[in-house]
């Protein structure tokens, strides 16, 4: 099924063991292209969302304080930390940088923030 969501979606349930990760057909198309996000990178980004909502220290500190755009940036950064390959980490950090520039942050400042 195609969703136009980017490839996957994390959905939080009432209990962690019932959380759902849906991987859509786009993920397989992107993975096959060789120049787009791999399935492991897509999944790492979605796990980043899960960590933001489920990790005790992160969830407590960020609850109700993140915009959707900020959550996307942080999910990409967390995904880059856990991604299995350097290429996946680079793609996820580039995604976070792109999102920062959409906030009006200059590309130079975005790179500095992501490297620190």
Q: Could you count the other beta carbons within 10 Å of the beta carbon of residue 12? A: 14
Specify the pLDDT at position 115: 86
pTM: 0.89
pLDDT in tens, 9-39: 999 999 999 999 999 998 998 899 888 899 9
- Average pLDDT of the segment spanning 94-113: 93
Domain segments of the chain as ranges: 39-115
Across 73-84, average pLDDT = 96
Question: pLDDT over 90 for what percent of the chain?
Answer: 70
Q: Phi and psi for 64 in degrees, rounded to 5?
A: 70, 5
pLDDT at res. 1? 72
- What integer is the mean pLDDT of 41-55? 94
Q: Calculate the average pLDDT of the chain.
A: 91
pLDDT band at 74 (very low <50, low <70, confident <90, very high): very high
Give 111's Cβ-side CA count (13 Å radius): 4
Q: How many CA atoms lie within 13 A of 21 on its CB side?
A: 17
Smallest CA-to-CA distance from 90 within 76, 106, 103 is with: 76
């Amino acid at each position: 099924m195609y969703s136009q969501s980017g490839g996957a979606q994390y959905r939080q349930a009432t209990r962690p063991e019932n959380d759902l990760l849906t991987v859509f057909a786009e993920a397989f198309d992107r993975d096959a292209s060789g120049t787009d996000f791999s399935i492991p990178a897509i999944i790492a980004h979605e796990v980043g969302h899960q960590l933001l909502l489920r990790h005790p220290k992160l969830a407590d500190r960020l609850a109700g304080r993140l915009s959707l755009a900020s959550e996307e940036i942080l999910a990409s950064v967390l995904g880059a930390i856990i991604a299995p390959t350097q290429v996946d980490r680079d793609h996820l950090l580039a995604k976070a940088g792109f999102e920062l520039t959409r906030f009006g942050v200059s590309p130079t400042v975005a790179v500095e923030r992501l490297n620190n």
